[in-house]
A and B are shown apart, each in its own frame.
Chain A
């Protein structure tokens, strides 16, 4: 049977050492009435070749974006995963290591986390970063709880254009702590309505969430209202796409106190939306309120450079019911991939990545805007994702494109109701070629001829 390896003789010898006749005797610590008399009602085991055949069939029952022309985004992006990243993180030294609680035998993992923290700190320009969160959504939810704890207040303001899947998670997370979520409307330009925001600010507000680019791809002008938020005693929580920070002003420089986001685009597979990997960074004064593991540089008794988990008295295994969060297992291996990805691309490659994504997105946006009946929904600048206003239902456009093996984007009616039924969210990465744009535009033009019913 797979994955147990004792010979019969060895089993006998072990049972003899224990003075029992059979393994069943060892199970007798479970009261007899609970013993399963027969095998579980599931299939018998398979060999490795059988397993591979079955799983390969299931794999081929999918039509992955990787085999199609895809303009899907919405928080998950199809970027190139460099071979170096795959190669290094398939090493068992990284993949099969445990949480680095014994630092002397875990320096590899600890230093990788330290370098990951440094990368995130430099991208965000906030001095402190942790070792990762489950995903961008839970990172945002934890940041909201953290802000409520820091300020002792219980209202979190979120923009209308927040990733709707993040909003769902934030609502679930804060539900236990009596934290209220209030939505701030968008302007016609798709960004936060600063006038409405000012009306909502008050002494109960713990934080304003600023997502930039927001779900519609619109860039927020947070520096214009950040002072009002802070003057009202609230914190600014930024939710940012780390790829955009190759070009855009970092949250630490426009007034964010905490920044979170999703690192899937940095060297990680889309993998049907999981595993993902969230990051969290914050100002120095909030380090002790931060959830999750944190690594610090230190020295060993011989004076050698070394790394170690610190501030564990914030964490559940020490602090129990008074911990800053219940998080224990995080997304270590994906943080490792992210770390290696950013090291490999480095200053030059990462800047190139941002420029190429943006230039390609600009080009497609202009091409679509030139198609009869189509326009960009919002006039302002964007990074690599934007909303197209279609002359017909976006659902119909998506269906027409899918027939030609193109994933045209996310119809916004999926999350924002019938009012958004003609809006299509389109994302571009460095992988797209001009011919992909031509194909999409050809489909859009044909779909435009089908009038709204």
Chain B
């Protein structure tokens, strides 16, 4: 890769469009003065350095930037374990209602009855879907949900006068699982998967001891496989006094079909920005509610929302609580969208959504398997992991396949994850994609496989139809330039 050694040019940033003395937006109709009652030593000396642009310039600049994004309203995002489904617009309209958007969190329960009712009802719905007893909607994202789960486990053991130090994580787990174990002060221990891509009971048996606090398990796992021995797994962990946590990133496969509570899990988190359709926003915000069995309920974060005679209130008096993970009550505007979505789907729609997601994934897997084999290739659930291994003989890597898909107007699947499959392509189409879209995507992948054979350079030089081509990531990592430098 040859890259020009000239320094980056920032003329196309909002700063490059700034002209000294231009005013884009007025707060006051009268001239303002620097404060006279704040002593000079407290005050900023000189300007801030923000850009000076007009309102139309701001519109054009960010509209132009927006067109450089792929997004779900443009075309498919086949990202495994990310559940990029269509985001219904009615959810955004609900979140924008003044009664919700204009509510200050310090107003007190009497002014917020509608919002508290949403929290309460959503917690009951999420309990019903999971087969758990109690829910906290406070975690702001899945990783924070995991954090809460492990804090609950620690508090639970401490309450029993015990102290355990290990968290078991399969090698196919999301990176957040081991990272969370560390941040909560546990030691993460990796469990090697068995030949069938699932937990190996013998490995688990030989790893378990009375220092294991929690087994974190993604169900279905990141290969899209259901843990057939889930009952035995959970029983083994429980027999050793440990707890079982389910990473619910893949709940889109289970909702309405089966319940983690029935599998024996003690706790789990949801990713509402995955399973329950809230927009990803280019990286967030998410929402990661945690559902638990009743014996863990006393440890949930405060405040808890409670109902008495049709009146809702926030309860801060939970002596065993692990405390708080958010300034207030979590990402209310996000779980409000999820609540809207769940009530729109209802019991019948939820079941139809998961079965359709499973149908779509199996159909797509079947269509591309002739060129992209599925190493753990039996029936999958809502996602599957294919391999680009057969293309390596043409000098083509999975990364090249991913980049070439961008030229077809699709986003790329999750690649090189899970780590247990070489040249992995992890694909999750979701239930909101039509058969036409699935066929189009399959045709694109099959064509790419032919290209790999006939003209591999088309792949290795892809993408060419995107706003920029492949980037010099090496220099950027060696010498990051993370801001427009001050003049």
Contacts and interface: CB of A to CB of B under 8 A. Distances in A.
Contact of B285 (A310, A320, A331): A331
A319 B23 CA distance: 45
Interface residues of B, number: 204
B346 A27 contact: no
A239 B175 CA distance: 29
A51 interface: yes
A99 B282 contact: yes
B39 A381 contact: yes
Interface stretch (A227-235, A344-352, A435-443): A344-352
A244 B230 CA distance: 54
A325 B183 contact: yes
A334 B71 CA distance: 17
B207 interface: no
Contacts of B103: 62, 64-66, 270-272
Contact of B329 (A3, A43, A274): A274
A215 interface: no
Contacts of B106: 72, 74, 76, 410
A347 to B, nearest CB: 4
B28 interface: yes
B111 A62 contact: yes
B176 A326 contact: yes
A393 to B, nearest CB: 15
A318 interface: yes
A142 B107 CA distance: 28
Contacts of B23: 346, 348-349
Interface string B316-347: 00000011111111111110000010111111
Interface stretch (B235-243, B289-297, B447-455, B475-483): B475-483
Chain B interface SS verdict (over half)? loop
Contact of B111 (A63, A93, A134): A63
A199 interface: no
Contacts of B340: 51, 55
B26 A297 contact: no
A154 B3 CA distance: 45
Nearest to B406: A105
Nearest to A169: B324
Given A36-B258, A301-B470, A325-B183, A108 B68 contact: yes
A39 B129 CA distance: 10
Nearest to A179: B185
A250 B44 contact: yes
A158 to B, nearest CB: 15
B105 A273 contact: yes
B59 A84 contact: yes
Given A59-B99, A96-B279, A176 B52 contact: no
B435 interface: yes
A128 interface: yes
B366 interface: yes
B176 A297 contact: no
A306 B471 contact: yes
A22 to B, nearest CB: 9
B148 to A, nearest CB: 9
A6 interface: yes
B362 A18 contact: yes
A257 interface: no
Interface in B17-33: 18, 22-28, 32-33
B70 interface: yes
Contacts of B100: 59, 62, 64, 271-272
Contacts of A45: 343-349
A362 B35 contact: yes
Contact of A107 (B65, B367, B378): B65
Nearest to B364: A14
B188 to A, nearest CB: 4
Given A145-B183, A249-B43, 17 more contacts: A23-B359, A42-B129, A44-B346, A108-B69, A176-B151, A250-B44, A269-B102, A275-B331, A287-B480, A302-B469, A320-B175, A343-B14, A344-B25, A349-B24, A351-B32, A383-B38, A407-B104
8 contacts: A34-B262, A48-B344, A90-B92, A105-B466, A273-B327, A276-B326, A330-B285, A349-B26
Q: Please provide the 5 A-B residue pairs with the shortest distance between their CB atoms, ordered closest to farther.
A: A66-B102, A273-B328, A333-B281, A273-B105, A45-B346
